Structure 1
Amino acid sequence: MSLRNFFLYSASFFVGLTGLSVAASTVPGTAYAADAQPQPQPLALPPALPTPKDVPYGGTIALHVDATDLNRHILSMNETVPVPQDIAANGGDFVLLYPMWLPGDHSPTGTIDQLGGLNVRADGKVIPWVRDTVTVSAFHIQVPKGTKELKVAYQLLTPVSSKEGRVVMTDAMVNVQWSAVSLYPAGYFTRQIMVKPQVTFPAGWDYGTALRPDGGKAGDTVSFKPVSFNVLVDSPIFSGKYFRKIDLTQADKVPVTLNVMADKPEDLAATDAQIKAHKELVHQANLLFGSHHYDHYDFLLALTDKLGGIGLEHHQSSENSGPRGYFTQWDKTFAARDLLAHEFTHSWNGKYRRPADLWAANFNTPQRGSGLWVYEGQTQYWGYVLAARSGLMTALQVQQALAEVAAVYDGRQGRLWRPLIDTTNDPVIAQRAAQSWRSWLRSEDYYSEGQLIWLDADTLIRKLSENKKSLNDFAKLFFGTNNGSFITSTYQFDDVVKALNTVQPYDWATFLHQRVYEIRDHAPLDGLTRGGAKLVFNEKPSDYITSYSTLRHVNDFLFSLGFAVSKKGALAEVLWGSPAWQAGITRDQELVAVNGEAYDADDLKETITADKVKNSGPITLLLRDGSRFHSVSIPYHDGLRYPNLEGSQEGLKAILSPLSDKGSAQIQ
């Protein structure tokens, strides 16, 4: 049969079949009855995974990571997992979990999508595995009777570029995060699972980590002392071709090290004065909290434009990234230098003291963030304060940073509908994805608006106590307990209120409830006022805004036209309710021309200034939105506006002044 005849035959067949079907449906007594077919019912979910129990896991897991495949950006793992005695004796279902709920991320950010090549063997034979259809980070393994251990191999296919996610491997550095390269048994608290880790690094590279080697080294493979699985996940590694270790240890002899890796060796050139500022950070933190919750601490700092950016806290270390000019362009990069102070503070606030609903028995139990306005908000506050007290930033630079924070959050339109407490759900809701209208959604405002709340509280304590008390006293009381311990101590709202009342009696429950749980038209700026400062707008950007904009590669027109724009003209943010918003402009459009001339940041600044003086017509912008070009007119005549503070600022200066050893609580 020819192809043409086949199609003709097929068409006539289906026409006939259709006619037959219609005819049959019209025969009396054969009409479809609605109740003849049963309605679908939900299928039962598979059995729940084993509930974590606070009992020791039998045996120690051996985990080896090969971090040498730099060209393909692949980390390869081999794991030896002892089988629990009851399963070994009888055989049965054994579940391995891939960590998903990671401390510090406040959401299920585990990179399960990068896990590949999973292979399980026992006694030389391949053992099939089945992924749980509900908890897709769980792998069921039917272990044969008599099996004492499993050999598990797999890879982490890390992003080869930022288009796929955060880059953790480059030609000069590797960031090994144990949560991404390990599987662990279900049914146990992670503090009860012991692991013996081992890593093979690229030849000749150095490394930094809170883990400690056990003395065993074969070539470029380093073996570390056994630790519990929760300590392992809390102890990432930075390894680099160009690496420097700087000792920051204080008089208490507790080792503190700044581990720096860089894209280029010249970026490691820190001066004595710069090292002194980092040492002073440790000193000032010890004076502030009157304690420490580590027996050693390792700052991990990558100076790079290749490795993905990070700022992540751990109990005895922190992962940080900064610009290549962190040391070599010290006067220009200061807007990035509160990061180490922020993450260091987390050793006390977040790792040691933690909101009760952010603690979990393992890394696959959902967390809740209702206390993030303390966890992150107060840490943001101390990050700025300690940066000033240590000399990582000057007091003036921090005051300028506070002006920027105050202006952004006082003008954030989303506060008209959404209370601050609801933003603590954002890590789960948005998982830090880019948002079209961040100023309306209030994405994670608990950080910096929380910072303003704690400035408010600090200045109020000082006023009520006639400067006899301050938030310094709260820090010692609340975070300084059990010196030397790094066992997490949880708290709830009432515990915060109780500690504040111990420092200075006041209706702190109402104070905090109004600022955290209620919708308020304005940001909590009373702390600035009590500190002797007033938020104003000038036509010239502060040094902080200049530094911040340079590091972010943007030009800031947020408080005039209402947008920030990249060096190449891409709109990075548009403020809800701003003149740009009123004109229908959105982020990710490209600014092509201003008043008929090709876009140039300096020319736009001159245009805005001239339009204020002459009060001429609207500013006309030509924008490209994909393949479409369109022109908008913005009737704006208020000139350039950049936030700053004026007034004596004596209260702020007192807060930002270094603590002295005399009169400060000492570490016992």
Structure 2
Amino acid sequence: MINRFALPLLALAFTIPVAAQDANRSMPVAVQVADGTPLPVDTAWPGGTIDLAIDATDTRRAVYRVIQTIPLSPGTRELTLLYPEWLPGNHAARGPISLLSDIRFTANGKPVAWRRDPLDVYAFKLALPAGARSVVASFVHTSPVTGSEGRVTMTQEMLNLQWEKMSLYPAGHYTRRIAVRPTVTVPAGWSVFTALDGQKRSGDKVTWAATDYETLVDSPIFAGKHAQSWPIGEDVRLDVVADKPAQLAIAPQNLATFNKLVIEADALFGARHFDKYTFLLALTDRMGGIGLEHHRSSENQYEPTSFTDWDAMDWDHNVIAHELVHSWNGKYRRPADLWTPDYRTPMQGSLLWLYEGQTQFWGNVLAARSGLQKKETILGRMARDAAVYSEGQPGRAWRDVGDTTNDPIMAARRPHPYSSLQRSEDYYVESSLVWLEADQIIRQGTGGSRGLDDFARAFFGMRDGDWGQLTYTFDDVVTALNGVHPYDWAEFLTTRLLTPGQPTPTRGIEMAGYRLVWRDTPNPFDKGAMDHGKGLELTYSLGFNLDKDGTVTSTRWDGPAFNAGIVNGAKIVAVGGEAYSAQGMKDAITAAARSKAPIALLVKRGDLYDTITLDYRGGLRYPWLEPAAPGEQPLDRLLAAKAAN
């Protein structure tokens, strides 16, 4: 509170010269901090091959124990070791350095003092004694044991060893020029799967041929107690670990869809940028979920019953197709500003709308073409995507797709209070709809003789057998598109992806002969996901989604629930005076569409209870795609198998 009698004195105080005020304050002056990230050089680490030995047998406590020997060139007195920070496929600085503990260094058998760089906490500075020929680093990597601590990578049945999470590398050199010889000890009897070359096993100790650090990081391990491996194409394998042995049972006709996926991918791209490829797949709800691309492998997770309840879990099968596409799009052809020579140099994701957006597009198309997912499931997934941007995301008015490519760095996939307003990584889904429009522009402009398939072959399928990385820019994308069909592609991409406030991105669906419609039952994709999760999706009716207990998991900005003050974390306790149930909620929404009575909800938020009425009469609403006319449509032809069996 301000005393009104003091106001004249306050007014006088405000007239004191700034210089006089400064005389009574200590005022530091900033100095330039040398915080620039130094670029490494494209030369080999002169010390020789690094030995990396990991003991992964402590599954009860979920601890990886690491001993790493870094050889030195003669006369080395200072060494900087880096923990990988900017991780490929994460598009951000996600290296979980906080999980590294009990860090110790020795040289000549004696402890070496170290300090962390205060401007780069991923860097360890070591002062070495004279005559040191190697440094031995020992530490533990503690896998999270609950989901609240991070992604669980080790259970008592399986593990997912990612080398970058439990190793260091010397600063100053391209990671492809640092040689490493890896060894892992696993629990007795466990199977070990990876794309690394030269695997040998003695008891439970597994070794591989020396490789470069970049290839090592790009070659993770899945290992497990219950495991099986199948060949599913020329030089391609499906390597699977599971929570329980019975979950590995897959019908032959369903296993065949993985082989068809490989065949369709080969037909699409017309070249390979790997000598061999392995799908690493975990059937689990104990280890953390993942979908992560690599050049010669991919890390994937299905729900535990995805093999044994194949049809019911059809909605869950897409990640395999998406990550396979990344071997061409993302690992081989890579945006120039996203490629980095090491894991310290910051990444930029300005072209993720191609890297991820077209991968999303082709992941859907190849899943349908191969039968890995039913066509009806893919249409349901596309309907869901179209619905988001038709009426479920007001954030498009202020934020373009291009800006969402910064989200991996800004948000690190943390949940948003109102994702429909804030947006998230929309470069996946909205971009996939834009690429469908591009496909239809090409097909209509060439009388059906060409399509985005031709772009994929020209842009991703070049240089068969090249296993490196070929970078590209925005102009390269435009040039390649014009090589398929002349059009103002620069304006098209700039408008659709780099300009906010654009029309709903459903033109591609409409050009492909389909339209977005609304029904009172969920489409096959939404039904499968809801049946599995036991939740209730009401985004396009009441404007929120509920988990199996009636707790709000997301709220649509400016929807009926939002306008009534219902937010994430609130719990629907009762509907119309009866205890909450999913069926009771659906019945109330249906009844309100036929009557004049509003929907009465008892809502608990924290310790407070509130009776809230929603005057909503629109009934249950779920998105579907349906043909706009009888007969086969362009979208049907796009999703149809292309390769000969």
Structures share fold, TM-score greater than 0.5? yes
Task: Output the CA distance in 2 between the equivalents of 1:440 and 1:168.
Answer: 33
Task: Output the CA distance in 2 between the equivalents of 1:264 and 1:36.
Answer: 72
Instruction: Give the alignment partner of residue 257 of structure 1, picking from 237, 248, 252.
Output: 237
Are 2:54 and 1:65 aligned?
Answer: yes
Residue 653 of structure 1 is matched in structure 2 by 636
Long gaps (5+) in structure 1: 1-31, 663-668
Task: Output the CA distance in 1 between the equivalents of 2:332 and 2:579.
Answer: 54
**Hey, which bits of structure 1, 4+ residues long, moved more than 6 A?**
none
Task: Output the CA distance in 2 between the equivalents of 1:315 and 1:460.
Answer: 31
Task: Output the CA distance in 2 between the equivalents of 1:631 and 1:453.
Answer: 43
Task: Output the CA distance in 2 between the equivalents of 1:414 and 1:610.
Answer: 32
Cα pair distance change 1:47/1:145, threshold 3 Å:
farther
CA contact (8 A) 1:49 1:186 kept: no
Task: Output the CA distance in 2 between the equivalents of 1:323 and 1:570.
Answer: 23
Are 2:267 and 1:287 aligned?
Answer: yes
Are 2:74 and 1:96 aligned?
Answer: no
Instruction: Give the alignment partner of residue 361 of structure 1, picking from 313, 327, 341.
Output: 341
Which one has a bigger Cα radius of gyration? 1
SS of the residue corresponding to residue 137 of structure 1 reads: strand
Letter in 2 for 1:51: L
Question: Deviation string for 1:480-523 (max 9, x for gaps)?
Answer: 01112121110011111111110011111111111011113433
Are 2:520 and 1:535 aligned?
Answer: no
Long gaps (5+) in structure 2: 1-19
CA contact (8 A) 2:496 2:502 kept: no
Residue 10 of structure 2 is matched in structure 1 by none
Are 2:241 and 1:241 aligned?
Answer: no
Are 2:222 and 1:267 aligned?
Answer: no
The more displaced of 280-289 and 48-57 is: 48-57
Are 2:29 and 1:45 aligned?
Answer: no
SS of the residue corresponding to residue 441 of structure 2 reads: helix
Aligned pairs for 1:517-596 (under 5 A) are: 517-596=498-577
Letter in 1 for 2:88: P
Q: What is the Cα-based RMSD across aligned positions, in Å?
A: 1.5
Residue 452 of structure 1 is matched in structure 2 by 433
Question: Deviation string for 1:344-399 (max 9, x for gaps)?
Answer: 00000000001111000101111010000000000000000000001011222211
Cα pair distance change 1:127/1:49, threshold 3 Å:
farther
Q: 1:207: Cα distance to partner?
A: 1.5
Are 2:321 and 1:341 aligned?
Answer: yes
SS of the residue corresponding to residue 213 of structure 1 reads: coil
Task: Output the CA distance in 2 between the equivalents of 1:636 and 1:520.
Answer: 27
Letter in 1 for 2:643: S
Task: Output the CA distance in 2 between the equivalents of 1:587 and 1:199.
Answer: 44
Cα pair distance change 1:659/1:43, threshold 3 Å:
same
Q: 1:92: Cα distance to partner?
A: 2.9
Q: 1:76: Cα distance to partner?
A: 0.6
Q: 1:82: Cα distance to partner?
A: 1.1
CA contact (8 A) 1:51 1:186 kept: no
Task: Output the CA distance in 2 between the equivalents of 1:581 and 1:120.
Answer: 55
Are 2:403 and 1:422 aligned?
Answer: yes
Aligned pairs for 1:287-326 (under 5 A) are: 287-326=267-306
Percent identity over the alignment?
Answer: 43
Residue 442 of structure 1 is matched in structure 2 by 423
SS of the residue corresponding to residue 325 of structure 1 reads: coil
Task: Output the CA distance in 2 between the equivalents of 1:135 and 1:391.
Answer: 48
Task: Give the length in aligned residue pairs.
Answer: 621
Q: 1:540: Cα distance to partner?
A: 1.2
Residue 108 of structure 1 is matched in structure 2 by 93
TM-score (norm 1): 0.91
Letter in 2 for 1:220: D
Instruction: Give the alignment partner of residue 195 of structure 1, picking from 169, 180, 183.
Output: 180
Q: 1:541: Cα distance to partner?
A: 1.1
Question: Deviation string for 1:403-438 (max 9, x for gaps)?
Answer: 111001222110011111100000001000111111
Instruction: Give the alignment partner of residue 78 of structure 1, picking from 57, 67, 74.
Output: 67
Task: Output the CA distance in 2 between the equivalents of 1:69 and 1:574.
Answer: 42
Letter in 2 for 1:78: I
CA contact (8 A) 2:533 2:548 kept: no
Residue 127 of structure 2 is matched in structure 1 by 142
Instruction: Give the alignment partner of residue 358 of structure 2, picking from 363, 375, 378.
Output: 378
TM-score (norm 2): 0.94
Letter in 1 for 2:58: D
Q: 1:218: Cα distance to partner?
A: 2.6
Cα pair distance change 1:323/1:497, threshold 3 Å:
same
Cα pair distance change 1:33/1:629, threshold 3 Å:
closer
Task: Output the CA distance in 1 between the equivalents of 2:543 and 2:58.
Answer: 45
Task: Output the CA distance in 2 between the equivalents of 1:464 and 1:577.
Answer: 40
Letter in 1 for 2:528: S
Letter in 1 for 2:504: A
Task: Output the CA distance in 2 between the equivalents of 1:652 and 1:634.
Answer: 39
Letter in 2 for 1:74: V
CA contact (8 A) 2:37 2:345 kept: no
The more displaced of 391-400 and 291-300 is: 391-400
